[in-house]
Amino acid sequence: MTPTAAAAPRPTLTHTLGFPRMGAARELKFALERHWRGEIDAAALDAVGATLRARHWQAQQDAGLAFVTVGDFACYDHVAHHIQLLGCEPARFGFGADAPELARYFAMARGAQGGGHHVCDAGCTHGAAAAPTGHAALEMTKWFDTNYHYLVPELHADTQFHLGSQRLFDEVAEAQALGHAVKAQLIGPLTFLWLSKDKGATLFDRLALLGRLLPVYAEILARLKALGVQWVQIDEPILGLELPPAWTQAFEPAYWQLGKAGPQVLLATYFSPLQEHLRLACQLPVAGLHVDAVRAPEELTGVADWLPGYKVLSVGIVDGRNVWRTDPDAALQLLAPIAAKHPGPLWLAPSCSLLHVPVSLQGEEALDPQVRSWLAFATEKLDELTLLAGLLDGRVAPDDARLAAARAAVASRRASARVHRPDVARRLAEAPPGADRRAAPFAARQVVQRTRLGLPLLPTTTIGSFPQTPEIRAARAAHRRGALATQEYEAQMRAEIERVVRRQEALGLDVLVHGEAERNDMVEYFGEQLAGFAFTANGWVQSYGSRCVKPPILYGDVAREQPMTVAWTQYAQSLTNRPMKGMLTGPVTILQWSFVRDDQPRALTCEQIAWAIRDEVTDLEAAGIAIVQIDEPALREGLPLRRGQWQAYLDGATRAFRIAASGVGNATQIHTHMCYSEFGDILPAIAALDADVITIETSRSQMELLEDFGRFAYPNEIGPGVYDIHSPRVPGEGEMVALLRRAARVVPVRNLWVNPDCGLKTRGWGETEAALAAMVRAARVVRGEV
Ligand code: GLN
Ligand code: ZN
């Protein structure tokens, strides 16, 4: 049935793998939060959802896409919708037969008491702490290497599946009623199982559930077909990961079953090269394959070679993960040979769902017009697809104004002196060898730092931020709006710093901090002061649930034009004789939580940031600050999806950190902080940072994590968090004593610090003071024992 050649010209179709759901004005967020506060009922919330879906489908139709995508919408999370669709809500929630679907959904998402998930800053996410275990929310974790968090399905060896929700079919009908041609979207069965968690008492193989799961998928597909749906996009992004052979082998039989069950299947892969799975992906018994040509342009020829000629080839040509306008000439150069080679239908799409980019550039008038011209958000990306398809087919004339505009924008970005700064390039090129090494090894630094700092054994400190009261937030917001004069604002912040210092002294902490009252966000604060960053008014991206982040746009060479934190830190130090710790965000975290330029390697951009941070570190040292903390909470999340690429990433990341940290003398103590609990496989890289002190989150794992450090014989000093800051609960002195004793068994006592798990910005003052007082007492108790 393979046609011999594409004699007749076929139009190139366009589609999207998904669209942002929040709405350009974050309508969904606000409706959700009102619903949770009890201000609007489920029907009113649904109405907001329906309005947004209709608007987003219309945008897809207006752009000329061949179908609208249905099934990508979610009130909280699309994986959680699949849990309901597939009828596998965890039994532990004990839902009654009459519990409404939406209420069950939010119970899974937020815990039965609506405790919600907590994020301590832009990226560090934790499950609901307050709800009792029986009704605690599902765990959340990052969706592949994105900043989107999904709710993790919980499976047991005896989990049964059934068609458990009508929502998808209702939405299909909704789109059809609006006159749209529909492509439905589903997460594939293998990816669904892979992303789930075994929750059974005994270990079992999630893959063993596939046989039970497939009939439900078949039923869903049959229902979609009955609704007249022609295409279903089934996402199997795990084909871009290293997989155990049993998982790889499960694909073919599974898709034999699904390929026949309903509408034509477009298998969608993204985020990562297919590599060893390329042939498998091409040859699965489905009607089409989508590949990510942004992350893996080099594979496109191989895909065109292996994909049977009659199948649809969907090329993810527009970057779904980033905000840059597509270079039309580069895209066509990649596409033209593929179009010639592949005789079957060719579709163009974003590389992945547009969930990961903001909705629209409309409303970004405050953005510098030149920078704005370089950007394309979700809505603009849809237009890019139509333009590219038209150019490829010769339906759009070479002198089309849209093409000229795209070319002009690309050329202006390439040539802009704001993007390419010779001074920055020169600085990196002329970096002396060894610029990323401290002058003396740790053991020697430790001796001079001890003498200089004169700290007791088990020194106490905090991670940086103190409670951000409504007054502080109001002052910051008013200053931003221009409603509070700078002088008055600074006076208020200084008063706050003084209060925070006095409280720390009264608590008896050994190493103090200024409290970060002037910071809204640990990346934005630095981005706003560094050259090379731009900020949008509305460039929100969903992080999880109703929570959105507005990542800075890192468009050009990064440089620090003037000190960013020195005045605040110096003022704080002037108030006390105890050491004041300077507080900075590290290069990897700044990179990770921004939209990053795509015209040079990420590692190079990271190194530029590192030099800018280094300038700040050395200025702090010159201002008499003896301890500087460089936070890297995002270091681990930057790990590439494929292990084969880990080492290169870790080498670049550790080098960047060391560049930032190594401009100072031996007597200046560098701290770093990371808030996660999986270190085992990256301990060599953590050690390679060569920070004098690392503070980490450990209290919720009862210090288990520290045992990794002990086994590894981690050489430098460590502050394992002794209490969980994600809960308002005040820990007892006794628990912290026990944790410290346990820590002292695995790490030499002379290398141990005492601190909470993370910053305290989300806590209230009452619980903070009580907890820190108990922490200081606990440190004194254990000091007395050694
Ligand atoms: N210094 C920051 C704070 O205390 C660290 C935040 C973080 O690790 N996410 O808030
Ligand atoms: Zn933290």
SS3 for 75-140 is: CCCHHHHHHHHCCCCCHHHCCCCCCCHHHHHHHHHHCCCCCCCEECCCCCEECCCCCCHHHCCCCE
Residue closest by Cα to atom 3 of ligand 1? 759
Which ligand has the nearest atom to the CA of 520?
1
Residue 344 is classified by DSSP as S
Question: What was the pLDDT predicted at 129?
Answer: 42
| CA 105, chain centre distance (Å) | 23
Quickly tell me which residue has 């998402």 as its tokens: 109
Q: Are 751 and 508 in contact (CB under 8 A)?
A: no
**Ligand 1 neighbour 759 (Cβ under 6 A):** yes
| Separation of CA 457 from chain center | 37
Looking at residue 11, its pLDDT comes to 94
Neighbours of 777 (CB within 10 A): 15
User: How many angstroms does the Cα of residue 757 sit away from the middle of ligand 2?
Assistant: 7
For the CA atoms of 144, 148, 149, 153, what is the dihedral angle to 10 degrees?
-60
Please tell me if the CB atom of residue 757 comes closer than 6 angstroms to any atom of ligand 1: no
Judge whether 88 and 155 are in contact, CB under 8 Å.
yes
The whole-angstrom separation of Cα 262 and Cα 783 is 69
Torsion of CA 302, 306, 311, 314, to 10 degrees: -20
* Both structure tokens of 297: 């342009």
| Cβ of 673 less than 6 Å from ligand 1 | yes
> What is the reported pLDDT for 202?
65
pLDDT of residue 680: 77
Binding site members: 26-29, 142, 147, 463-465, 516, 547-548, 593, 631, 637, 673, 675, 697, 758
**Separation of CA 493 and ligand 2 centre (Å):** 23
Express each pLDDT in 347-405 by its tens digit.
999 999 999 999 999 999 999 999 999 999 999 999 999 999 999 999 999 999 999 99
How far away, in angstroms, is 259 Cα from ligand 1 center? 48
CB distance 522 to ligand 1 below 6 Å: yes
Query: Cα(124) to centroid of ligand 1, in Å?
Result: 9
Q: What is the pLDDT of residue 9?
A: 62
State the pLDDT at residue 704.
Answer: 74
**For ligand 1, atom 4, which residue shows the shortest CA distance?**
759
Low-confidence stretches of the chain (pLDDT < 70) are 1-9, 113-134, 201-203, 677
Question: Are the C-beta atoms of 407 and 680 separated by less than 8 Å?
Answer: no
- ipTM for the complex? 0.99
Spatial neighbors of 613 by CB under 8 A, at least 6 apart, are 526, 560, 584, 585, 586, 587, 590, 630, 660
pTM comes to 0.94
Q: How far apart are CA 392 and CA 385, in angstroms?
A: 11
| Dihedral over alpha carbons 151, 152, 154, 159 (to 10 degrees) | 90
pLDDT at site 204: 75
Read off the tokens for 62: 């207006």
Our mutation pick for probing the ligand 1 site, out of 125, 462, 519, 522, counting the most ligand atoms within 8 A of Cβ, is 522
Which residues are designated catalytic?
A: 726
Residue whose CB lies within 8 A of the most ligand 1 atoms, among 631, 760, 762, for a mutation test: 631
Q: Ligand 1 centroid vs 463 CA: distance in angstroms?
A: 6
Burial 471-486 (b: 16+ CB within 10 A, else e): ebeebbeebeeeebee
CB 701 within 8 A of CB 677: yes
Which pLDDT score is estimated for 677? 65
